Structure 1
Amino acid sequence: MGSTHDSEESVSEEAVSVKGTWKHAAFHVATTIATPAAYAPLPFALASLGWPLGFWGYWSVAFFQQVASLGNNIAIQIAAGSSLKAIYKNYHENGTLTLQHFVIFFGIFELLLSQLPDIHSLRWVNAVCTFCTIGFAGTTIGVTIYNGKKIDRTSVSYSLQGSSASKTFKAFNALGTIAFSFGDAMLPEIQNTVKEPAKRNMHKSISAAYSVIILTYWQLAFSGYWAFGSEVPSLALQYKTMPFFGDFVSICGAIGFTPLDFVFPALAYLKAGRTVNNSKLSQLMQPLNILIATWFSIVAILGCIGAVRFIVEDIKNYKFFHDM
């Protein structure tokens, strides 16, 4: 009897928790992908590439999951702390609070939010975050266009600068940055909160979220590159305060998000051996997934190489616990 009661209770709890709409899921997807940390380095990444351009399964992704989780949280902590400090300094120019204080404040806020029972409980928080992120993107796009118009356009160069080796490593680094910006390891957890028909609602939420993400991402990337050309900094707004940030984002994208979001899903599809009704499409899917897994494995390796090289070059600018 006890077992039956526990089973009924767990089913009841699951039914209560799975009540999210496609709009709620869209907020979750948009918030977990599009963050200021993801937007800010995109113009530099585009400038670096130029215009033309079961059990064992758990352990196989555990390392990459931890890298993505740790890296993403550190990046967000730095970006949030720097933003809070900038607001503080705007009103208290001679204030004594440092970056470390604001990182701690934001960490406490995150700790409080983590006490909520599930992702669905964050739906309104993520709704606010989504609109704030859109506002951040719009502001940054506006600032870059405004500054771009003030610059003598004849002095702006779009040619790739540096030696052949430098250009190559910049391109490698850019691949990791783009992977970080588009990476999202939360989709299964988000889909678990969506009510039936879950597949249809999840499709609508992803379509809505990625429509916003793609429009704002590429507008920011292109406007930043247009405004500053090959001299665009690695962080669109506060490069001088965070000299290592672009390098850090790139290595997290290369080691964490690329394997999790682009390589393992393709390998899982191949391992599962799933087929579709259309035999021609079925024949196409296998080589396509092999190509995706192979290409993004290469992207992960190259992105890691480029990021490590830039970190080694920028190490002289690092100071532990520095008030940036």
Structure 2
Amino acid sequence: MLLFAVVILYTSSLLCDCYRLDDAVSGKRNYTYMDAVASILGGVNVKLCGIFQHVSLVGVAVGYTIAASISVMAIKRSNCLHEKGGGKECNMSSNPYMVGFGVIQVFLSQIPDFDQIWWLSIVAAIMSFTYSTIGLSLGIANVAETGKIKGSLRGISTGTTLTQTDKVWRNSQALGDIAFANSFSIVLIEIQDTIKSPPSEAKTMKKATTISIAVTTTFCILCGCTGNAALGDKSPGNLLTDLAFSDPFWLLDAANAAIAVHLVGAYQVFSQPIFAFMEKQALQRFPRSQILKKEFKVPLLPGFAPYNLSLLRLVSRTSYVVVTTLVSMLLPFFNDVVGIIGALGFWPLNVYFPVEMYIKQKKITKWSGRWVFMQILSMACLVVSIVAGVGSFAGAFLDLKKSKPFHY
């Protein structure tokens, strides 16, 4: 986790410097990640960047849909176990909750752009702190109550239920999960474009990423270590949704509710580049279409300005939410999906493109010490992505063999 944090901190700093060309204060702006790649690298790199970015963003939306539904389902199951003590009636499907999450996203997706969802980001951040603190506290309380540390530095033990090969796959998948947790670079340029200057956008963004990485890495390490210390080999994929801790159940409900609210906002943040791309492509393909450009004023509550409803925005964004919801229902394996998306996007979007753009923009001499260091870093991260991808795909394949799509 520390190594990933250091790498992402370094490469995100390089990416921040690619927002403007030549001069960090007055240079030409790159409004999106793809704009930056097109301006600096050009050629086939633009198409490759578009493919990796959009696949990763769709994957993030799918992962968030799965996670949010599991959290809401965990609340329902926790209450059921508390009231009835178990039984078949406490077994339930996540499909209805995925549909509910999708319905919420259909409405929120009609918010026009990044600038108008700042409040949603603040709510999501508060919720993130809430459930992380609860998870950490439960782990500490469990260790304090039992007086035993059940986990070990070697991780889960191998034996009759878990072979050494299975452990290798899980370790590989874990790399993908950690990569996913550090994959904010895929929307870094788009977020940086919303920052006001002075000081320069790059300076502000670097400060923000440093604080964010420090805080998230600290929480991830603490939650992971205390959870492993409390539960050892029985540590589940998610300490809060797999009901590893059963009491106090109301606190678990609060944590899972915070997860769901956080993911509602996070889904929108990571979907904005996709929305903008779809609408830009539609307008470029049909430049004379008045229907695509037309907006209707919809009256809201008294005292509020009317909402400008765009048919293009309504159809394209609703379709996107429907598709991501259906895919989530087909692949309801959170850890596997997260690992795959983390592996696919980590090297190209978080390392390769930032490194190559920075080298070209700053005119770093080939075979110089800094150039060699950057290339070694890039190749090492490529190996990590491949290993993480293999492990995550293996896990997904095994889960698919036991899965029943759309099964209620």
TM-score (normalised: structure 1): 0.71
Return the alpha-carbon distance in structure 2 between the equivalents of residues 168 and 71 of structure 1: 24
CA shift in 2, pair 1:141/1:315, >3 Å: same
| SS at 1:153 equivalent | coil
Say if 1:244 and 1:311, in contact at 8 Å, map to a contact too: yes
The Cα shift of 1:108 comes to: 2.1
Stretches of structure 1 lacking an aligned partner (at least 5 in a row)? 1-53
Give the alignment partner of residue 336 of structure 2, picking from 247, 256, 260: 247
Deviations 1:30-52 (A, max 9, x none): xxxxxxxxxxxxxxxxxxxxxxx
Give the alignment partner of residue 99 of structure 1, picking from 94, 99, 102: 94
CA shift in 2, pair 1:247/1:240, >3 Å: farther
Q: Given residue 177 of structure 2, which amino acid in structure 1 is its aligned partner?
A: T
Return the alpha-carbon distance in structure 2 between the equivalents of residues 112 and 180 of structure 1: 26
Say if 1:61 and 1:260, in contact at 8 Å, map to a contact too: yes
Say if 1:224 and 1:232, in contact at 8 Å, map to a contact too: yes
Stretches of structure 2 lacking an aligned partner (at least 5 in a row)? 1-41, 84-88, 245-330
Range moving further from structure 2, 163-172 or 85-94: 85-94
Higher helix share: 1
2:189 aligned with 1:196: no
What is aligned with 2:60? Answer: 72
What is aligned with 1:30? Answer: none
Deviations 1:237-275 (A, max 9, x none): 2348998321221111111334211232223333x1514
Q: Given residue 213 of structure 2, which amino acid in structure 1 is its aligned partner?
A: Y
Deviations 1:133-160 (A, max 9, x none): 1101111111222333445727544434
What is aligned with 1:317? Answer: 402
Q: Structure 1 vs Structure 2: percent identity of aligned residues? A: 26
CA shift in 2, pair 1:314/1:95, >3 Å: closer
Say if 2:52 and 2:348, in contact at 8 Å, map to a contact too: yes
Deviations 1:58-113 (A, max 9, x none): 21123322321121111110111222334456678779995322222221222222
Give the alignment partner of residue 147 of structure 1, picking from 137, 142, 148: 142
CA shift in 2, pair 1:89/1:157, >3 Å: closer
Range moving further from structure 2, 302-311 or 185-194: 302-311
Say if 2:347 and 2:378, in contact at 8 Å, map to a contact too: no
Q: Given residue 208 of structure 2, which amino acid in structure 1 is its aligned partner?
A: S
CA shift in 2, pair 1:56/1:154, >3 Å: closer
Return the alpha-carbon distance in structure 1 between the equivalents of residues 403 and 68 of structure 2: 19
Return the alpha-carbon distance in structure 2 between the equivalents of residues 122 and 154 of structure 1: 43
2:223 aligned with 1:138: no
| SS at 2:122 equivalent | helix
Return the alpha-carbon distance in structure 2 between the equivalents of residues 157 and 295 of structure 1: 27
Return the alpha-carbon distance in structure 2 between the equivalents of residues 207 and 256 of structure 1: 20
Return the alpha-carbon distance in structure 2 between the equivalents of residues 128 and 84 of structure 1: 18
TM-score (normalised: structure 2): 0.58
What is aligned with 1:262? Answer: 351
Give the alignment partner of residue 238 of structure 1, picking from 223, 241, 244: 241
Return the alpha-carbon distance in structure 2 between the equivalents of residues 285 and 249 of structure 1: 33
Return the alpha-carbon distance in structure 2 between the equivalents of residues 195 and 179 of structure 1: 29
| SS at 2:349 equivalent | helix
Return the alpha-carbon distance in structure 2 between the equivalents of residues 243 and 103 of structure 1: 10
Say if 1:266 and 1:292, in contact at 8 Å, map to a contact too: no
Q: Given residue 289 of structure 1, which amino acid in structure 2 is its aligned partner?
A: M
Return the alpha-carbon distance in structure 1 between the equivalents of residues 384 and 194 of structure 2: 32
